Structure 1
Amino acid sequence: MNIEAQIQKVGDSLGIILPTEALQQLNGKEGTTVYLTDSGEGSVTINQSSSDLEQIVKLTEEGLDQYRNALNELAK
């Protein structure tokens, strides 16, 4: 699905007003937090949930803590 939206001035910032179709896809309403992820080649993905991202960050931090000495040695 491709939905067109324009970047608009909102106060002193810029914003994108999401059409109803996009909000329905996100199951979003006013106040819903969304996450923008770099999808490469000048595109981004908008998601309502960041559970995957939160899990990845948690596992990465645990791995860095567990293997800090080995990683430091490899970095030399």
Structure 2
Amino acid sequence: MPKDLEGEALTLQVRKIGNSVGVIFPKELLHRLRLKEGDTLHVVEQPDRNLKLTPYDPKHAKALEFARKAFQQYGDTFRELAK
């Protein structure tokens, strides 16, 4: 994100969209975040009713961290098995 926009507050309104409720992101924000229609965002609840929207699945990230540790610990074994 450009330095001049870091920490900038943006107000989005929850509104009715058809039979559902959603939030509409302005084009400029979508462009800055490199998001497009159909992308998946994960909502991570934070303390004090805060939300974190992220394109990264926290469960997937945790599984990758576990795999990285296993590869570090058993790297020689994995290399032998790959032969």
Q: CA deviation at 1:3?
A: 1.0
CA distance in 1 between partners of 2:56 and 2:31 (Å):
14
Of structures 1 and 2, the one with the larger relative CO (CA 8 A, separation 6+) is: 1
TM-score (structure 1 length as normaliser): 0.62
% identity of equivalent residues = 25
RMSD of aligned Cα (Å): 1.7
Q: Check whether the contact 1:5–1:17 (CA below 8 A) recurs between aligned residues.
A: yes
Q: 1:26 to 1:48 in 2, by over 3 A?
A: farther
Taking a change above 3 Å as real, the CA distance of residues 19 and 4 of structure 1, as seen in their structure-2 partners, is: same
User: What corresponds to 1:23 in structure 2?
Assistant: 30
Aligned residues: 57
> Which of 1 and 2 has greater Rg?
2
The question of whether the paired residues in 2 share the 8 Å contact of 1:26 and 1:47 is answered with no
Of Structure 1 and Structure 2, which has the larger fraction of its residues in strand? 1
Check the 8 A contact 1:26/1:48 in 2, yes or no: no
Q: Runs of 5+ in structure 2 lacking a partner?
A: 1-7, 67-83
